[in-house]
Amino acid sequence: MDVTEYVLSHRERALLIGDHGSYRTQLSRQLKTLQKRLGRSTAKNAKFSQKPIAAEDIGGNPEFAHIILLTAERAWAHAMYMKSLSADDSTAQMPSSRRSHIVSRLAKAAKQADSLVELLKKSPSKASKIDWLEAKAYAHYLEGSAELENRSGSPRLADKAAQREKWSNCLLDLAVSRIIYAAMLKKTKKEHFKEIISGYIDPAIRLAAYQSQIPRTVPVTEVARKFFPEDETEIAKEVKAVDPHAFDDDEDGGANGLPKSIEWRSRKANIVDASIGQAMVTVTAAESQLKSFLSSDKDKETSKSRAAAYDEVLIASQDAVDTVRHSIEEHEKDKIPESDPRMQDLRVTSLALNYEMIGWRVGRNRVLIGVQDGLHMEAAPIKQAKGQEKSATPQTEGRGRKLAKLRERVVLYDAILQSIDSVKELRGAVRDAEFVEELDARRAYFQALKCLNIAYSHSLLGNFDNTLALLLRAESLSSHAQKTLGSAKHISNDTPLKLDVDPKDAKTLQDHLTSQVYRYNGLVDLLKSNDEAKNAVAKDKAPPLPMIRRMNEYSAGGVDLTKLVTYPPKIEPVPVKPIFFDLAWNYIKYPGQESGASSAAGAKQGEDAKRSEEQKPTKKGWFGFSR
């Protein structure tokens, strides 16, 4: 039936886009639709009559249980909406009428949940023991919330025993709910159990324990075990069936197993709040799991799978940081000064846990980068398709894939540098000059690796001048890092990667950069000399023209008989006088040329006329006809 998952999924979807008022409206709409589908809706003109739900109905269709859950959730949403109206105006005190209305709504929700518990306990409902336990935990949570709101409106009593007795009923209900949900979480590992414990039950238990004058150093789990009612033998039996160690003191971070202090460099701080110690125990457990995973089958696991193993410890570290921040906010609300030893211990604890979380984040990025923090440009072989024949020489990755991998590395280096800069922003970090110097050295180490990988990309593109400039920059950064990191402690190979840098890695980077600088310096000099030689040949040592093309030159040093003509012959342009120049020459008239030409032409015409007259024969006969 999954009572808890059904309730929290509705809450999450509704509160993600709205408030408790819209959640209540949505529940009313869903409840009306569900009743209509199950045939339990009242007609328009008919008088309303509530139809009780029987265990047989739930056994035939589990949606009848959803009607009860939606009704309880609607009452809870109404109470939270009225509470949020008073939370917006923090200066004014909540009216007693509104508080009593909130308590009545929560009591109605608890009553609906209790009715569901009674129905699921009957055999015709076909519900399992797990369903009954979840419904029982949900009902006790609502009863504890109603009691919490009811007691919050009354003034605090001076008598410690009377004040604890006043809040005992609230702690009893919340303790039962917490024990059941913790056992469910351990067995099923489902996130919704963890969400309801950390988001709803634990804050209520902390508030009720504070009102009962229970020290903060007592963990929530111990408070829950201490206030678990002894007469609830049936619940205890079912909880032990789910988790046999649910009531053990050493389980789930008991008081004996919690750390009492934390060390940050040369300072030792006490754990002020027990919830912080619990979170630290969770981080330690996740760290041990990470070590065991990384130590087994190193060669079989890929970088992505090793990086995914960091997720659990990162989540646990983030929860620990959130717990410390929440504790600091509570102390600030109580107006505890910064000079108080508790606040100073909290500040040191916050700095240590934040640095630890950032270290795990950097370590995860280092695992994604590759072996030796991306010191070498690795080229993985290309996997051949099933249909292709296997070649003797495996093909390596192309330039495009190599550039894409280098681009991903640069993004990860940027994330690492950003994380290191965020350490300096932590409160109290910059006061330690030696610590800041170590951070600068580590930043220089990763920045040198970033410049090295960018230089690799330029070398693939043939920009060797840029490659040499980047390598020189990386070498200067690496030498700066080597001065500080050379005296650091050596890190074991079995230790998961974090922000700490091994001196051996810094020395390897320095030697590699020095060799690469020498290599590319020589390569750039060779390319430069080749370019100069080509330019000299193009300018000063151009091949001479053949002798037939230089007939107008005087060869003082003698004629080069090895190159008289171009052989083998090839098509070349030949210098020719333009034809239009000859055509234009016929139309040019010089001064005096026109008169001489005309007289000569007239004399020639006279001679031709005279010669034609002499040769003209005489006519014979009449009219020129000869006889």
The pLDDT of residue 40 is above 90: no
More confident residue, 228 or 391: 228
> Lowest-pLDDT range, 126-135, 311-320, 569-578?
569-578
More confident residue, 546 or 624: 546
Whole-number CA gyration radius for the chain: 48
Question: Cα separation of 165 and 162, whole Å?
Answer: 5
> Lowest-pLDDT range, 48-57, 183-192, 392-401?
392-401
Strand 261-264, strand 267-270: pairing: antiparallel
pLDDT at residue 276, rounded to an integer = 87
pLDDT tens-digit series, residues 501-521: 988 999 999 999 999 999 999
Confidence band for 609, pLDDT divided at 50, 70 and 90: low
The pLDDT of residue 525 is above 70: yes
Tell me which residue has tokens 């001489």: 596
pLDDT at residue 338, rounded to an integer = 87
pLDDT tens-digit series, residues 377-387: 876 555 555 55
CA torsion through residues 459, 464, 469, 471, sign: positive
More confident residue, 91 or 265: 265
Question: Helix, strand, or coil here: 376?
Answer: coil
Mean pLDDT of 346-362: 93
Three-class SS of 161-222: HHHHHHCHHHHHHHHHHHHHHHHHHHHHCCHHHHHHHHHHHHHHHHHHHHHCCCCCCCCHHH
pLDDT at residue 421, rounded to an integer = 93
Question: Helix, strand, or coil here: 396?
Answer: strand
pLDDT at residue 470, rounded to an integer = 94
pLDDT at residue 251, rounded to an integer = 46
The pLDDT of residue 159 is above 80: no
Domain boundaries, the chain: 258-369, 398-537
Asked whether 368 and 307 are in contact (CB, 8 A), the reply is: yes
Strands, E assignment, 256-367: 261-264, 267-270
More confident residue, 11 or 589: 11
The pLDDT of residue 90 is above 80: no
pLDDT at residue 472, rounded to an integer = 95
Cis peptide leading into residue 575 (ω within 30°): no
pLDDT at residue 542, rounded to an integer = 56
pLDDT at residue 455, rounded to an integer = 94
CA distances from 583 to 42, 55, 321, 589 (A): 116, 123, 101, 13
pLDDT at residue 422, rounded to an integer = 93
More confident residue, 366 or 331: 366
CA torsion through residues 55, 61, 62, 67, sign: negative
At 505, the amino acid letter reads D
Say which DSSP state 122 is in. S
Q: What is the mean pLDDT of the chain?
A: 83
Other Cβ atoms less than 10 A from the Cβ of 142: the count is 26
CATH of 398-537, one of 3.90.1010, 2.60.40, 1.20.140, 3.40.50: 1.20.140
pLDDT at residue 253, rounded to an integer = 43
More confident residue, 95 or 252: 95
Confidence band for 16, pLDDT divided at 50, 70 and 90: confident
pLDDT tens-digit series, residues 179-212: 999 999 888 888 889 889 988 998 899 888 888 8
Confidence band for 254, pLDDT divided at 50, 70 and 90: very low
Three-class SS of 126-138: CCCHHHHHHHHHH
Question: Cα separation of 262 and 321, whole Å?
Answer: 14
pLDDT tens-digit series, residues 289-307: 888 888 876 555 678 888 8
Question: Cα separation of 117 and 280, whole Å?
Answer: 36
Mean pLDDT of 71-76: 94
The pLDDT of residue 71 is above 50: yes
